[in-house]
Amino acid sequence: MRGVKRQAWRPGPLLVNTVAAVAIVGVLAGCGVGGRSAPHRESDALSSPAEQASAGPFLVGAEAPTQPMSRVAFPAAPPPTAPPVAVPSSRKVIRNGTMRLEVAALDAALGSLRALLQATGGHIANESRSQDEGQGRQAAVTCRVPAERLDEVVARLREVGREESIQLGSDDITEQYVDLEVRLRTQQQLEVRLRQLLERSSNDLSDLLEIEREVARVRTEIDQMEGRKRLWDQQVSLSTLTVLLHEPRPIGANEGGVWRTLRQAFRQAADNFVASVADVIAATGGIIPVVAALALAFWVARGLWRRTRGRTLSR
């Protein structure tokens, strides 16, 4: 046994290669797991949608957004099909007219006109009467009639007397009406914002005075617009019809013959003469004082000349 020489054990080439391959695979696997563990943990910590959205571009491995993300929540825009002010379904038209009638009796015609207006929902806004020399009695009546019944009133007035003339007109104010509503709503919204600023606790005296002046100005414009809108609504709903009534000319208006004609001619001639004298006085009123002054100067000079001449002759 002592004669046998022991040899040291040496691993074979196959075993060495196998161990080296296992070691390399283990090292590579450990590096891959370690490199991916941090992002996975961060991703798990931000697994909720709100946290991932707040992390945004700071997420490792996350794709950068194309636009910057805002932290302010803006109100949603109104749908494009919803206009700020509703367009009226019907046109805003103001109708008016004037009608002239010859009636047999003025009082009876006025009674029929009042009854007609009461039956159609209208009323008399103004009435006046007159009578000229040699003419029959006359009356001018301003009526407010519902716009949808204006044609009916005109047709029934032809039964009251003989129609001599008629004129009907209309004015479309739809565009101006819609524009007024838009400006009115804008001013109302501005007033609300100004009153909110007025309630701030941080306002000093100068701020309060300035805001109050602006609120007063805006409120004045709102009152004017609301008054114009009410006026237009009344004019659109109630049309204005002016009715001119007159009786026939009296039968004896032309009586009097030649003498009446001559009297009127002499009266007219006297009036013309007085007017002519008045015109002459008015035209020469500025010349008369100058002529008077020249005449006085001439008279004084003439008197001095005569006195001087008399003394010369006496010597």
Chain mean pLDDT for the chain: 76
Task: Please report the pLDDT score of residue 136 as a whole number.
Answer: 79
Helix (H) or strand (E) holding 50, with range, is helix 49-55
Q: Are 116 and 262 in contact (CB under 8 A)?
A: no
Task: Please report the pLDDT score of residue 193 as a whole number.
Answer: 93
Confidence category of residue 80, pLDDT binned at 50, 70, 90: very low
The mean per-residue pLDDT over the stretch 99-104 comes to 93
Task: Please report the pLDDT score of residue 28 as a whole number.
Answer: 56
Return all residues near 248 (Cβ < 8 A) that are at least 6 apart: 102, 104, 136
Query: Between these two residues, 76 and 89, which has the higher pLDDT value?
Result: 89
**Segment 11-65, tens digit of pLDDT:** 555 555 565 665 665 555 555 444 444 444 443 443 444 444 444 433 334 444 4
Look-up: residue for tokens 């009323």?
123
Helix (H) or strand (E) holding 282, with range, is helix 257-284
Task: Please report the pLDDT score of residue 169 as a whole number.
Answer: 93
25 burial via Cβ count (<10 Å: 0-12, 13-18, 19+): exposed
Domains and CATH numbers, the chain: 97-174 (3.30.70.240)
Look-up: residue for tokens 């002239």?
100
Task: Please report the pLDDT score of residue 115 as a whole number.
Answer: 94
Q: 13-22, 206-215, 275-284, 289-298: which range is least confident on average?
A: 13-22
**Segment 117-134, tens digit of pLDDT:** 999 999 999 999 988 766
Q: 139-143, 256-260, 307-311: which range is least confident on average?
A: 256-260
Return all residues near 112 (Cβ < 8 A) that are at least 6 apart: 160
Return all residues near 44 (Cβ < 8 A) that are at least 6 apart: none
Task: Please report the pLDDT score of residue 61 as a whole number.
Answer: 41
Task: Please report the pLDDT score of residue 265 as a whole number.
Answer: 84
Q: In the chain, what is the greatest distance between 2 CA atoms, to the nearest angstrom?
A: 212
Tokens for 271? Answer: 């009036």
Amino acid at 94: I
Q: If you average pLDDT over each of 25-39, 62-76, 214-228, which comes out highest?
A: 214-228
Helix (H) or strand (E) holding 171, with range, is strand 162-172
- State the Cα–Cα distance between residues 58 and 64, nearest whole angstrom: 9
B/e letters for 257-285, b = 16+ CB within 10 Å, e = fewer, are: eeeeeeeeeeeeeeeeeeeeeeeeeeeee
- Going by DSSP bridges, is the β-strand pair 238-246/137-146 parallel, antiparallel, or unpaired? antiparallel
Q: Which residues pair with 139 in a beta bridge?
A: 129, 245
The mean per-residue pLDDT over the stretch 3-14 comes to 49
Describe the chain by its helix, strand, coil percentages, rounded to 5: 60, 15, 25
Query: Between these two residues, 28 and 243, which has the higher pLDDT value?
Result: 243
- State the Cα–Cα distance between residues 221 and 206, nearest whole angstrom: 23
Query: Between these two residues, 248 and 258, which has the higher pLDDT value?
Result: 248
Enter the DSSP assignment of 195: H
Tell me what percent of the residues of the chain surpass a pLDDT of 70. Answer: 68
